[in-house]
């Protein structure tokens, strides 16, 4: 019990305890966004004046008014442009967008994300996202009584570095301090783990408007560990709408691609039909002059393929982590599209258990983010919670022969730092070019190039004597920093990897699939490349030794013989005959053994000649 003393007038307020930090969690979704905040360990989503928690991720720009976020204003289309699903464009290139969009895009000067045409000018997806974030932050600030000190923003687990960076940039543009970017399934796990003390191995099935994520998580005593992630960054409830819309076009007998405006109307009809089928067995649909009925059976035939795609991703994730469906303690549903009875049905059948949806699947991510924001902002609650995330694909560097040397393995928990020592390949080599790669394949050409940089100032030493330590560091947000340092001289170089376009989910999936199917061929190729490098290394070493001491230590015949073998091996190393290269390398090695011994003797003789044993510092 505190006892009080009387303070001087106006002085007592200085003793007030530190202000609780205003922190919020933001689920920046493709279709809808939410903001939530935690109070005394309980999180709740914040609602607008109408009691709506979901903010449609649509920004309406007009030439005269400030951007409007949410349900589009009923303005004339000539005066306003409504931009939706902008999340799909974040960190993406123009070439990546191969589906119809209800607005026009154009290439940005100098590459990067495409610009969106609006009546208020050309805007980058980052600017549109920033407008959404600004709106959500204002809602959060109003609820908490002041500007937010920090936010946690959720992103799909599969968002690559470019997409994460774009999200970060949007937050900065909106004037927000990002405490952390948190992957959506991880946020959902936080919500369940902290609120309801769920423990065990859990699969998070997140089917949102535009993205599908599946994450296998292990929850243990408040520690969240992502065992494996997978998904499809371009599959979601929007695709269900699109499938219905295309069916409508076909049913209505319309052959040509509809104009933007008609397409938007068509999607609205499709969405209403989809929602209707949640409860009804069939719904009446009408488009243009055509009228008809969409039955559940037809709807299922349209979307079952999409759902099966998600289940295949689940299967891959289970296989990656070597977990059987029966070992799972729970299946958690996240995302508005999981409200669909068909999705729940198929997920339940696939995993052999009824999925969990005790927290509103649309709010669960924002709630988890809010809890995490509360912890990260330094508000006492749950301060011990440690969150582990993983990197989706291995990271490494290129080594001689075009091989990928993995430094951080796929599915390593982040933050992580790993080092490996490399050395020079040629005598007197003073610089080294480092090529940072991401992927699972053995050869550089099959992996994704992330960055290149040079390390200079390596002291000129014989091949293999210099020690270059390469360190890969991935921070908690998944951003990669690679540094290289020559250990004797201390020269170092660093690169922060921010690719202009990162990997897409499809790329990641393809790369993984290729890594499995090409495993055998890759192994053979790696062996060949290793033999080739080995052979050439011997050739180089012998050549410089011959130039230096050949005349002094060898007879003319010996020199001829070695030179001939040397040329033979050099020619053979260019072919793909791995075994022949190996045996010839072996033969050259044997032939040059005597020469090597003589060189060593000569070296020792030179070092010791004319000196007394006591003077020699052995």
Partner 1 sequence: MAVTLTSVAAQHVAAQLAARGKGLGIRLGVTTTGCSGMAYVLEFVDEMNDMDQVFENHGIKVVVDPKSLVYLDGTEMDFVKTGVNEGFEFHNPNVKGECGCGESFSV
Considering only residues 356-385, where is the footprint of partner 1 by CB under 8 A? none
Please provide the DSSP assignment of 586-604 as one string.
Answer: HHHHHHHHHHHHHHHHHHH
Residue with tokens 């469906």: 325
Which position among 27, 149, 486, 522 bears the catalytic label? 27
Of 6-14, 108-116, 318-326, 343-351: span binding partner 1 (CB under 8 A): 6-14
- What count of residues does the chain have? 618
Give dist(CA 259, CA 185) in Å, integer.
Answer: 36
Considering only residues 401-440, where is the footprint of partner 1 by CB under 8 A? none
**Contact call for residue 7 and partner 1 (CB under 8 A):** yes
* Minimum distance, C-beta of residue 19 to partner 1, in the bound complex (Å): 7
Please provide the DSSP assignment of 58-118 as one string.
Answer: -EEEESSS--EESSPP---TTTEEEE--GGGGTT--GGG--S--SS-EEPPTTSSSPEEEE
**CB-nearer residue toward partner 1: 41 or 102:** 41
Of 1-9, 25-33, 63-71, 415-423: span binding partner 1 (CB under 8 A): 1-9
Which letter does DSSP use for residue 548 in this model? I
Distances from the Cα of 170 to the Cαs of 124, 154, 414, 440, 579, in angstroms? Answer: 10, 13, 23, 31, 55
Under rule CB under 8 A, how many of the chain's residues touch partner 1? 16
Of 5-13, 69-77, 195-203, 365-373: span binding partner 1 (CB under 8 A): 5-13
Of 8-16, 185-193, 433-441, 555-563: span binding partner 1 (CB under 8 A): 8-16
Distances from the Cα of 429 to the Cαs of 433, 455, 459, 464, 491, in angstroms? Answer: 11, 11, 8, 10, 14
Q: Which of 1, 66, 613, 616 binds partner 1 (CB under 8 A)?
A: 1
Residues 25/369, Cβ–Cβ less than 8 Å: yes
Considering only residues 12-31, where is the footprint of partner 1 by CB under 8 A? 12-13, 16-17, 19
Phi–psi pair at 430, nearest 5 degrees:
-110, -5
**CB-nearer residue toward partner 1: 1 or 613:** 1
**CB-nearer residue toward partner 1: 380 or 587:** 380
322: left (phi over 0), alpha (psi -120 to 50) or beta: left
Q: What residue spans of 290-363 are helical by DSSP H?
A: 296-321, 341-351
* Minimum distance, C-beta of residue 9 to partner 1, in the bound complex (Å): 5
* Minimum distance, C-beta of residue 381 to partner 1, in the bound complex (Å): 11
**CB-nearer residue toward partner 1: 4 or 552:** 4
Give dist(CA 182, CA 53) in Å, integer.
Answer: 20
* Minimum distance, C-beta of residue 380 to partner 1, in the bound complex (Å): 8
Which position among 206, 232, 440, 486 bears the catalytic label? 206
Based on the residue annotation, tell me whether 184 is a catalytic residue of this protein: yes
| Kind of pairing between the strands at 59-62 and 68-69 | antiparallel
Give dist(CA 139, CA 289) in Å, integer.
Answer: 43
Based on the residue annotation, tell me whether 195 is a catalytic residue of this protein: no
* Minimum distance, C-beta of residue 46 to partner 1, in the bound complex (Å): 20
Of 7-15, 121-129, 339-347, 549-557: span binding partner 1 (CB under 8 A): 7-15
Of 10-18, 261-269, 541-549, 563-571: span binding partner 1 (CB under 8 A): 10-18
**CB-nearer residue toward partner 1: 14 or 555:** 14
Which position among 96, 131, 149, 184 bears the catalytic label? 184
Burial of 305 (0-12, 13-18, 19+ CB in 10 A): exposed
Based on the residue annotation, tell me whether 522 is a catalytic residue of this protein: no
**CB-nearer residue toward partner 1: 3 or 74:** 3
* Minimum distance, C-beta of residue 190 to partner 1, in the bound complex (Å): 23
* Residue-wise burial string across 207-239, b where 16 or more C-beta atoms lie within 10 A, e elsewhere: bbbbbbbbbbbbbeeeebbbbbbbbbbbbbbbb
**Degrees (nearest 5) of the Cα angle 64, 67, 73?**
85
* Minimum distance, C-beta of residue 512 to partner 1, in the bound complex (Å): 49
Based on the residue annotation, tell me whether 87 is a catalytic residue of this protein: yes
**CB-nearer residue toward partner 1: 1 or 618:** 1
Residue with tokens 């970017």: 181
**Contact call for residue 552 and partner 1 (CB under 8 A):** no
Residues 445/402, Cβ–Cβ less than 8 Å: yes
* Minimum distance, C-beta of residue 2 to partner 1, in the bound complex (Å): 4
* Minimum distance, C-beta of residue 142 to partner 1, in the bound complex (Å): 17
- CA contacts within 13 A on the Cβ side of 471: 13
**Contact call for residue 3 and partner 1 (CB under 8 A):** yes
Enzyme catalytic residues: 27, 87, 184, 206
Applying CB under 8 A, the residues found at the interface with partner 1 are 1-13, 16-17, 19
């Amino acid at each position: 019990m505190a006892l009080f003393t009387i303070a001087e007038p106006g002085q007592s307020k200085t003793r007030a305890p530190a202000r609780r930090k205003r922190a919020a969690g933001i689920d920046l979704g493709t279709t809808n966004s939410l903001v939530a905040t935690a109070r005394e360990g309980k999180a709740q989503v914040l609602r607008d004046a109408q009691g709506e928690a979901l903010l449609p991720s649509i920004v309406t720009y007009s030439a005269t008014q400030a951007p409007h976020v949410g349900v589009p204003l009923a303005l004339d289309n000539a005066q306003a442009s409504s931009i939706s699903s902008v999340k799909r464009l974040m960190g993406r290139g123009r070439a990546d967008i191969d589906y119809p969009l209800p607005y026009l895009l154009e290439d940005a000067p100098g590459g990067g994300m495409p610009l969106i045409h609006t009546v208020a000018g050309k805007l980058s997806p980052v600017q549109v996202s920033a407008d959404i974030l600004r709106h959500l932050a204002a809602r959060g600030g109003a609820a908490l009584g002041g500007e937010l000190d920090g936010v946690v923003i959720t992103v799909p687990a599969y968002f690559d570095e470019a997409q994460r960076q774009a999200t970060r940039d949007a937050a900065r543009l909106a004037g927000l301090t990002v405490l952390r970017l948190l992957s959506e399934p991880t946020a959902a796990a936080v919500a369940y783990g902290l609120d309801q003390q769920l423990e065990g191995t859990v699969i998070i099935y997140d089917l949102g408007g535009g993205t599908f994520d599946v994450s296998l998580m292990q929850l243990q005593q408040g520690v969240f560990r992502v065992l494996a992630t997978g998904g499809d960054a371009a599959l979601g409830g929007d695709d269900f709408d699109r499938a219905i819309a295309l069916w409508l076009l076909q049913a209505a007998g319309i052959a040509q691609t509809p104009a933007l405006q008609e397409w938007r109307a068509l999607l609205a009809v499709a969405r209403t039909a989809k929602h209707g089928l949640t409860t009804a067995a069939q719904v009446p649909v009408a488009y243009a002059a055509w009228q008809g009925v969409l039955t559940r059976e037809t709807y299922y035939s349209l979307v079952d393929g999409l759902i099966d795609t998600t289940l295949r991703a689940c299967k891959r994730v289970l296989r990656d982590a070597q977990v059987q469906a029966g070992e799972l303690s729970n299946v958690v549903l996240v995302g508005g599209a999981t409200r669909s009875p068909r999705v729940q049905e198929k997920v339940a059948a696939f995993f052999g258990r009824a999925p969990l949806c005790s927290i509103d699947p649309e709010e669960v991510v924002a709630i988890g983010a809010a809890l995490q924001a509360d912890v990260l902002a330094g508000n006492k609650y749950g301060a011990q919670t440690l969150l582990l995330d993983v990197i989706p694909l291995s990271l490494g560097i290129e080594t001689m022969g075009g091989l990928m040397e993995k430094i951080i393995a796929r599915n390593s928990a982040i933050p992580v730092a790993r080092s490996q020592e490399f050395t020079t390949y040629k005598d007197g080599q003073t610089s080294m070019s480092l090529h940072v790669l991401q992927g699972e394949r053995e050869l550089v050409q099959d992996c994704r190039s992330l960055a290149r940089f040079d390390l200079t100032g390596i002291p000129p030493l014989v091949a293999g004597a210099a020690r270059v330590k390469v360190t890969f560091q991935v921070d908690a947000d998944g951003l990669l920093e690679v540094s290289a340092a020559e250990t004797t001289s201390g020269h170092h170089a660093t690169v922060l990897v921010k690719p202009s376009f990162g990997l897409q989910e499809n790329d990641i999936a393809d790369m993984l699939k290729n890594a499995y199917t090409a495993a055998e061929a890759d192994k053979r190729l790696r062996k060949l490349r290793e033999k080739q490098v080995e052979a050439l290394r011997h050739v180089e070493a012998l050549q410089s030794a011959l130039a230096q001491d050949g005349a002094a230590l060898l007879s003319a015949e010996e020199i001829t013989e070695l030179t001939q073998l040397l040329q033979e091996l050099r020619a053979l190393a260019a072919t793909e005959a791995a075994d022949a290269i190996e045996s010839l390398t072996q033969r050259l090695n044997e032939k040059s053994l005597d020469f090597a011994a003589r060189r060593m003797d000569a070296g020792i003789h030179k070092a010791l000649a004319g000196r007394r044993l006591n003077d020699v510092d052995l």
